[in-house]
Amino acid sequence: PLEAGLSPNAQIDAGQKAAQLFNARWNAFLDSELGVNAPRAAQWKQVLAEISLPDLKDFAAELCSGKIESYDYYAHQNLLASSCLEKAARAQEMAESFSAEVKKPRKVEKMLLWAAESLKRTAAFLKGETPAEPEGEYVKLSSNDQAKGWDDEAFDEACSLVDFAGKTTPEKQRLFLAAYDLVKDVTALIRQDYAREGLLSFDDLIVKTRNLLLQNPSVREQLKAKFDVLFIDEFQDTDPVQGELLLFLAEAKNTRASRWQNVRLEPGKLYVVGDPKQSIYRFRGADITAYELFTDLILRQGGEKCFLQENFRSTPEIVETANSICSRAMIQQTAFQPAYVPIYTSKTVRNGAVQWVFVPAPEGKLPSADDFRDNQAECIADWISQNVGVLTLADGSKLQYKDIALLTRAATTATPYTEALRRRGIAFNVETDKKFYRKQEVSDFLNFLRAVSDPDDKISLAGVLRSPLFGFTDEELYQVAKRGELSLYVRPTDEKLSRAFAVLNKYARLAGRRGLKDFLTDILEDTFLPEACAASYEGERTLGNLKRLVGLADGYAADGPASLAQFLADVQTLLEEHPDRLGASTTDDALDAVSVLTVHKSKGLQFPVVILADMTKKDSSSSSDPVLHIFSWQYNMHGLRVGKICDVNLAFLEEEQKKHGKCEEVRVLYVALTRAKEKLLLVADARKGAVKAAAPFASAGLFPDEETLPKEVSDGELTVPVEYAAYEPPENFRYRHNEYAANPETAQNIKHWREVYEERLARYQKWISGDHLRAPSEMADPNLLTEEQRAGAELGTVCHRALELMLAQKQPPEQAVVSAAAQCAVPHRAGDARKVLLPFTTSPLFAELSACRVLACEMPFSYLEENGEVESGVMDAVLTGADNRVWIVDYKTDKVKPGQEKQLLDKKYRLQLDAYRRAAEKIFPGRSVRCSAVFVRTFAAVDL
Mean pLDDT of 773-788: 49
- Written as one letter, the residue type at 781 is D
More confident residue, 634 or 554: 634
Distance, CA of 763 to CA of 843 (rounded, Å):
54
Cβ atoms of 529 and 469 within 8 Å: the answer is yes
pLDDT in tens, 582-612: 444 444 455 688 999 999 999 999 999 999 9
* pLDDT tens by residue, 219-257: 999 999 999 999 999 999 888 999 999 999 999 999 999
For the stretch 918-936, pLDDT in tens is 999 999 998 999 999 999 9
What's phi and psi for 754, nearest 5 deg? Answer: -65, -40
pLDDT for the residue 778 = 46
Tell me: pLDDT of 866 over 80. Answer: no
**Residue 585: predicted pLDDT:** 46
Instruction: Identify the band that residue 435 occupies on the pLDDT scale cut at 50, 70 and 90.
Output: low
**Beta bridge partners of residue 680, listed in sequence order:** 354, 610
In degrees and rounded to multiples of 5, residue 651 shows phi and psi of -60, -40
In this model, does residue 41 exceed pLDDT 70? yes
Please give the share of the chain, as a percent, with pLDDT higher than 70.
90
Three-state DSSP class for 825?
Answer: coil
> What CA–CA distance (Å, rounded) separates 24 from 548?
30
Contact status, residue 356 vs residue 682, Cβ threshold 8 Å? yes
Q: CA-to-CA distance for 221 and 862, rounded, in angstroms? A: 62
Indicate whether 467 pLDDT > 60: yes
Report the first-to-last Cα separation within the chain, whole angstroms.
Answer: 55
Alpha helices by DSSP H, listed for 200-239, are: 202-215, 217-225
Considering only CA atoms, which of 612, 593, 660 is closest in space to residue 632?
660
Q: Does residue 780 have a pLDDT over 50?
A: no
Cα 427 to Cα 384, 422, 538, 562, 682, distances in angstroms: 11, 7, 9, 38, 21
Give the mean pLDDT of the chain: 87
What pLDDT, on the 0 to 100 scale, is given for residue 769?
64
Range in 434-438, 484-488, 827-831 with the lowest mean pLDDT = 434-438
Integer-rounded Cα radius of gyration of the chain: 34
Q: 3-state DSSP call for residue 597?
A: strand
Cross-strand bridge partners of residue 526: none
pLDDT, residue 432, reads 53
- Average pLDDT in the 525-546 region? 76
Distance of alpha carbon 114 from the chain centroid: 39
Q: Give the span between the Cα atoms of 341 and 309, in whole angstroms.
A: 8
Strands 607-612 and 629-632, by their bridges, are unpaired
Q: What pLDDT sits at residue 790?
A: 57
Residue 44 makes CB contacts below 8 A (sequence gap 6+) with 33, 34, 38, 182
Q: What pLDDT score was predicted for residue 292?
A: 92
Residues in the chain: 944
pLDDT band at 916 (very low <50, low <70, confident <90, very high): very high
pLDDT of residue 556 exceeding 80: no
- For 675-709, what is each residue's pLDDT tens digit? 999 999 999 999 998 998 899 999 999 999 989 99
C-alpha 341/C-alpha 330 separation (Å) is 9
pLDDT band at 12 (very low <50, low <70, confident <90, very high): confident
107 with 99: CB under 8 angstroms?
Answer: no
Residue 266 in this model has a pLDDT that exceeds 90: yes
112-165 pLDDT, tens digit per residue, is 999 999 999 999 999 999 999 988 899 999 999 999 999 989 999 999 999 999
The Cβ-side half-sphere exposure at 391, using a 13 Å CA radius, reads 20
Q: Across residues 903-925, what is the average pLDDT?
A: 91
Question: In Å, what is the CA distance from 422 to each residue of 378, 391, 416?
Answer: 11, 21, 10
Phi, psi (degrees; rounded to nearest 5) at 642 = -125, 115
Kind and range of the H or E run holding 187: helix 170-197
Residue 512 clears pLDDT 70, i.e. is over it: yes
pLDDT > 80? residue 623: no
For the sheet with 354-359, list strands across it. 428-431, 594-598, 404-408, 607-612, 676-685, 354-359, 719-724, 712-714
Look at phi and psi of residue 343 and say left if phi exceeds 0, alpha if psi is from -120 to 50, else beta. Answer: beta
pLDDT band with cut points at 50, 70 and 90 for residue 724: very high
| Angle at alpha carbon of residue 50, lines to 47 and 55, rounded to 5° | 80
Compute the half-sphere exposure of residue 689: CA atoms within 13 Å on the CB side of its CA.
8
* pLDDT at residue 582 in the model: 45
Split at pLDDT 50, 70, 90, the class of 770 is low
* Mean pLDDT for the stretch of residues 347-366: 93
Q: Tell me: pLDDT of 738 over 80.
A: no
On whether the CB atoms of residues 604 and 50 are closer than 8 A, the answer is no
Q: What's the pLDDT tens digit per position in 88-115?
A: 999 999 999 999 888 899 999 999 999 9
pLDDT at position 743 is 67
Q: What amino acid occupies position 142?
A: S
Residue 559: pLDDT band with limits 50, 70, 90: very low
Confidence of residue 375 (pLDDT cuts 50, 70, 90): very high
The CA-atom distances, in angstroms, between 170 and each of 181, 610, 774, 785 are 16, 51, 65, 57
Weakest-pLDDT range from 11-15, 23-27, 452-456: 11-15
| pLDDT for 490 beyond 60 | yes
% the chain with pLDDT above 90: 58
DSSP β-ladder status, 676-685 and 607-612: parallel
Which H/E stretch holds residue 595? strand 594-598
pLDDT-based confidence at residue 673 (cuts at 50, 70, 90):
very high
CB-neighbour burial class of residue 902 (10 A; exposed 0-12, middle 13-18, buried 19+): middle
> Letter for the amino acid at 761?
L
Q: Is 857's pLDDT higher than 60?
A: yes
* Average pLDDT estimate for 182-207: 89
Residues 6+ apart with CB under 8 A from 512: 563, 564, 874
CA angle 761, 762, 764 (to 5 degrees): 60
What's the confidence (pLDDT) of residue 577? 56
Cα distances from 931 to residues 764, 864, 897, 928, in angstroms, run 37, 20, 21, 10
Average pLDDT over residues 870-879: 88
- The answer to whether residues 141 and 135 touch, using CB atoms and an 8 Å cutoff, is no
Q: Is 87 exposed, middle or buried (0-12, 13-18, 19+ CB in 10 A)?
A: buried
Q: Which helix (H) or strand (E) holds 456?
A: none
pLDDT at 145: 94
Q: Which of 627, 631, 647, 630 is nearest to 176 (CA)?
A: 647
pLDDT higher than threshold 90 for residue 650: yes
| Contacts of 906 by beta carbon, 8 Å cutoff, 6+ apart | none
